[in-house]
Chains A and B, each alone.
Chain A
Amino acid sequence: MKAPPQKTEAKLNIFALPSQTTLLFGLIVTVLLGTVFVGSIGPSPICTWPLALGLLFLPLRTFLARPERDFARHNLSPAGDDLADLQQAIETNAKAIGLRRTPRLVVSPSKRPLYTFGTRRHWYIAVNHEAALRLQESLEDPDVAPVAQARLIHELYHFKTGDYWQMGYTRELLRTVFLFMAWAATFFCGFGFLLIVAAPDFLQLDPTKLLEQAGNLTPEVRQMLLQIMPSPGEMEAVRQKAAVINLPLVLNFIVGATLPYVIMGGILWGLYWPKLWRMREFYADAGVVQAQGKATPYLSALTQIPLPLLKKYPYERSLAICQQGKGFLDIVREWWRRIKALLKRHPDAATRITCVKDPSQVIDNWVDAAILAGSLTLLLDILLVSPLTILYAGSWPMHFSTLAILVVVSLNLISPLAQGKSVWSDMLKIIVVVVALRLAWLLLTIGLMILLLVFAPDILSETLVAFVASSAHFAGYSDELIFDNLSAFVVKASILNLAQVLIIFFILMVALVLVAFLLRCLLTWYRFPQVNQRLMKVAYLVIGWVALLLGLTILPLITTALLRLTDLLNLPGIIVGALGLIIAATGLGLFIYAHRKYARRCPRCGTAVPGWYHVGKRCKACNALLHPWLIAEYEL
């Protein structure tokens, strides 16, 4: 359950801010596709780009074919003339909320609820035929029409926010990754075990002896078979090649390359997929109340309390109830309820109503943002050490996850900054959680290594050999599979990895302080032309600019200094770093220029507006509302 609404007069227009649905969609795609693409551009034991393209396009193909399959599976058919008025109402409301096309109404004989589906070009609203007739009837009754309209607008907003295609693609991506990697793991492991069992017999096979045993063959057939079968020389060549293949190591590679994707796909499916479902409902709800200009029809649709009764009583914000202190069991129950809520696809009504009354509640608070960014780090850390990507991750271990966290946390900062809240402590807490999770994972690995080093050095050596074999060795980067000095390896690996955690903490803090400061300045650009359409784009540019500076200059410099000190004066590295600096300097220059021109001046009277922006801020001279596009106007 989210926190109770704050007592703020102005309500935040969440559509003007980065969409949490898009953020979740981006996170899932980054984790699953990003890591495979990283494996494709960097060195990898196998050619990874066909896999990357396959995982990109297979879900797309299934997603595009999904409507036809839905039509067949649920026996859907286009709505007839008896529902012409409902189709007309859909068209009217679609135009009213600014949809670029009208979804088609389709009816289903099954008792499925009103729901939306489609591709980027074909949009459908499906509903049970009887329910459609009831809805049409309600739209004609002035007493309940706004309530029916609220339900309709809610569905239309799924198209408006674009969550229908994000959901559709994510569903297919998760399914494809899970099924494909599970199939690959099963098939190749089965094949590998078959080879382990059958290889000795197969390699000792002598075709001539085999044919001699078959006594009833004619000389012509025997001759023909001898020509088809490999000659003793060819068999010897196969034996020599097979002798150098270590099948258990190959199996280890297969498991290491596929299993993390199966597990991570499962985690994303179990935790992030339901969150995506829940989040899209909050946005559709916000769309309803903004489109209708009042919350009562929506509340009536949700609670089933008749609209006239809701209108009769004024909205009440809070109650003076003295709640008793909670016991241990209550706290356990509460946390259990929260954990169960994580798996639910539909948000509970209380949270939906809270978010309608105070839309800023839709945006993740620092705990949710920390869990999101922290889990992203863990997922990336686990996936990037798979044999497909470890060679890239080994060369640039801090890049991918640091940049991903920077972008996720930065996007989450925009909303509290727009509300005029201080973000410093929340930012610190988020980064501490992220780094702590990473540190915990690392300490677990280091602890295990040290334990093995002390009590079972042979097992440690074999594990490391298997790890190197499945990545660098198979990719042709390492010929030797021996660890001469295990303790030196463990000490060096521990120091380097612990140093990285601290470096990442420091870099993220500095980068996020810079981003937060720039975004806060940006929010004071009241005179910026077409500010309602362009300010958020500039915010994304600012975040991208800082990410570019980190990715091209800061991180390569620190990584090279830490891991390959001799490469520090490498010319390509210097050129890329300088390029990053030039882009950063140009960007900063443009930002300062624009800030001087557009910041802290009232767009109406031109008077100076001191202080930082917060939702609902007005010019003291002319009382003009600043950034009105960040405010949602509707009655509660």
Chain B
Amino acid sequence: MKTTQFLSVPENRAAVRAISQQVLAEVEPDEVEVSASFIEPLIDMTARGEIVTVDTSDEAGGFGAADLMVTVVVPVVVAVLGNLLTKLGEVEIEELKKKLKREKEAKVFIKVTVEDIEVVVKRTKSPGAKRKIKALAGALNGALLEYLASK
């Protein structure tokens, strides 16, 4: 299964959205409000294999480029959830949640490393995300565990 194929299921999209919001609230709380409208378009972009690239050369004096954390968080969440579903052989997040409840040991798969995030950060060239990679990894692990292991 292609790692982004799971996004065609509405519940899975909702999960990406909820986890992204939770991560943003922890890592970049100022962005939560303004990023609300961008999550769905970014999910679509990620599903198409596209990614937002931050062009900081257009910073001072020009129009400027938005280095929004959401442009990194959404692709990372999609990648992590996609890999998790593939590893555990599921298609829907709700099924995955049930499986995690049944098989407690499966929780070890919920582990996002700095390297996982670096792959996406390198593609987006986001300086803001680069500075906060460790915080992103911590927040993402927490949000994933909370969402997937919740009742």
Contact = CB atoms under 8 A, between A and B. Distances in A.
Interface of A: 1, 4-5, 111-115, 151, 154-155, 277, 281, 299, 301-306, 309-310, 312-319, 321-324, 345-350, 352-354, 357
B34 A350 contact: yes
Contacts of B38: 303, 305, 310
Contacts of A322: 25
A303 B68 contact: yes
A112 B15 CA distance: 41
Q: Give the bracket for the number of chain B residues in contact with chain A.
A: 35 or more
A281 B54 CA distance: 18
B52 to A, nearest CB: 5
B85 to A, nearest CB: 24
Contacts, number: 110
B40 A313 contact: yes
B36 A318 contact: yes
A432 B65 CA distance: 39
16 contacts: A154-B63, A155-B63, A302-B65, A304-B53, A305-B41, A309-B41, A312-B40, A313-B40, A313-B41, A318-B33, A321-B24, A322-B25, A323-B25, A350-B31, A350-B35, A354-B34
Contacts of A305: 38, 41-42, 45, 52, 71
A303 B65 CA distance: 7
Contacts of A312: 40-41, 44
Interface of B: 21-22, 24-26, 28-38, 40-42, 44-45, 50, 52-55, 57-68, 71
Given A316-B36, A319-B36, A309 B45 contact: yes
Contact of A353 (B21, B34, B57): B34
Nearest to A319: B36
Contact of B52 (A304, A321, A347, A354): A304
A306 B51 CA distance: 10
B45 to A, nearest CB: 6
Nearest to B41: A309
A306 B21 CA distance: 21
Contacts of B36: 316-319
Contacts of A318: 33, 36
Contact of B66 (A302, A309, A310): A302
B34 A357 contact: yes
Contacts of B66: 302-304, 349, 352-353
Which 3 residue pairs are nearest across A and B when measured between Cβ atoms?
A113-B62, A349-B66, A309-B41
B21 A321 contact: yes
A350 B68 contact: yes
Chain A interface helix/strand/loop/mixed: loop
Nearest to B35: A350
B37 A316 contact: yes
Contact of B71 (A301, A303, A316, A319): A303
Given A305-B42, A313-B40, A115 B22 contact: no
Contact of A346 (B37, B45, B57, B59): B59
A281 B64 contact: yes
Contacts of A277: 60
Chain B interface helix/strand/loop/mixed: helix
A114 B31 contact: no
Best-buried of B25, B33, B50, B58 by chain A (most CB within 10 Å): B33
Given A113-B58, A115-B62, A349-B64, A309 B32 contact: no
Contacts of A301: 63
Contacts of A313: 37, 40-41
B133 to A, nearest CB: 16
Contacts of B28: 350
Nearest to B68: A349
A281 B60 CA distance: 10
A340 to B, nearest CB: 12
A8 B93 CA distance: 37
Contacts of B57: 111, 113
A529 B16 CA distance: 55
A348 B60 CA distance: 11
Contacts of B24: 321
Contacts of A317: 33, 36
Best-buried of A4, A305, A317 by chain B (most CB within 10 Å): A305
B21 A319 contact: yes
Contacts of A154: 63
Nearest to B31: A350
Contact of B63 (A113, A310, A314, A350): A113
Given A304-B66, A306-B45, 6 more contacts: A114-B63, A304-B54, A305-B45, A319-B21, A353-B66, A354-B34
Best-buried of A1, A111, A317 by chain B (most CB within 10 Å): A1
Contacts of B71: 303-305
Nearest to A117: B61
A281 B65 CA distance: 12
Nearest to A274: B60
Contacts of B31: 350
B25 A115 contact: no
Nearest to A113: B62
Given A304-B65, A309-B41, A323 B33 contact: no
Contact of A310 (B30, B37, B54): B37
A305 B65 CA distance: 11
Contacts of A350: 28, 30-31, 33-35, 68
B110 to A, nearest CB: 20
A114 B65 contact: no
Best-buried of B24, B37, B42, B68 by chain A (most CB within 10 Å): B37
B33 A354 contact: yes
A160 to B, nearest CB: 15
Contact of A321 (B25, B44, B53): B25
A493 B31 CA distance: 51
Contacts of B58: 113-114
A151 B60 contact: no
